[in-house]
Amino acid sequence: MKHNSVINGITLICSVLLLMLSCLVFSIRSGEDETPASAAVRPTTEVADEIDSLMSVATVTDVTASETASETDAGISYIAETEKQKAIERQEEREKFMNDLRRQQEEEAARKAEEEQKRQEEQAVVEAAVEPQTGTGVLNRTLGTVIGPSGKETFYNLDMSGVIAIMQSMGYYADYWVREDGVKMYGDYIMVAANLNIRPKGTLVQTSLGMGIVVDTGGFAATNPYQLDIATTW
C-alpha cells in the first residue's frame, strides 16, 4: 500500500510538470502572435533553456521515482526475508523444546521403571526374609526340598576343598569327612551354604539332618535369605 502511494505521488508530480511545460509553450506561441517582431521578447535560447530545465526536472523526478520504487521493493524483500528467518528460528526452537520434553519424559519413565523394579526386588527379599515356622521332614536324595527347623532346605554336591581352605584361613580348623548317609561334615557339623548377611561363615544352624555349620553361600540367598543348601554326595 505504501509503495503504491509513492508511485501515485510521483506520477502526479510528473503530470503537473508536463502541464506547466505545455502552458509555457502555449504562452510563448501566443506572445509571438501578439507581439511585433521588433518588440522586446524573451530570447529563444532562454525559453529553450527553461524547457530543458523543466525536462531535466521531469527526468530527475522519474529517476527518483524509479530509485524510490527500487528501494521500497528492497525494503519489502528485506522485511519478508527477516520474517521468514524469524519463522524458521521459532520452528527450530519449538522442535528443540519438544525434543527436550520427550527426552525428559523418557528419562522420567525409565527412572520410575527402575525404582519400581528395585521396590519389587526389595519386597521379594523382605517376603523371603520372613523367618519360617518350624517344619517337618528330613532332607534326603529323594526329597530334594524340605522345610526344616531353620527354613527351606536343599542339597548340592560340589568339590569342598576350596571352601575348606577358606574356613581354615578364617581360623576354623576341623577334619573333613563324609557321613554314612552321604552328608559332608566339617568336624562334628554338617556343611551348609547360607545367606552370609544373616548367617556368616562359622555360624551354627539347626537342620533336619542335625547341627550344621555355615561354610559357603549361593545364588539362592538373594531370593530366599533363610534357605540352607546342604553339602552332600547325592
Q: Are 229 and 154 in contact (CB under 8 A)?
A: yes
pLDDT digits 0-9 by tens, 191-211: 999 999 999 999 999 999 999
Establish if 138 belongs to a structural domain: no
Amino acid at 28: I
What pLDDT does residue 169 have?
94
User: Is the model more confident about 177 or about 129?
Assistant: 177
Arithmetic mean of pLDDT over the chain = 78
Residue 18 exposure: Cα atoms within 13 Å on the Cβ side? 9
* pLDDT at position 44 over 60: no
Number of domains in the chain: 2
What pLDDT does residue 82 have?
85
Pair 6, 121 in one domain: yes
Establish if 137 belongs to a structural domain: no
Return the axis-axis angle of helices 44-128 and 2-34, rounded to nearest 10°: 180
pLDDT digits 0-9 by tens, 89-102: 888 888 888 998 88
Establish if 134 belongs to a structural domain: no
Domain that holds residue 57: 2-125
Summarize the confidence of residues 43-69 as an average pLDDT. 59
pTM assigned to the model: 0.44
Summarize the confidence of residues 210-217 as an average pLDDT. 96
Pair 120, 199 in one domain: no
- Percent of the chain beyond pLDDT 90? 38
Domain termination residue (choose one: 93, 125, 157): 125
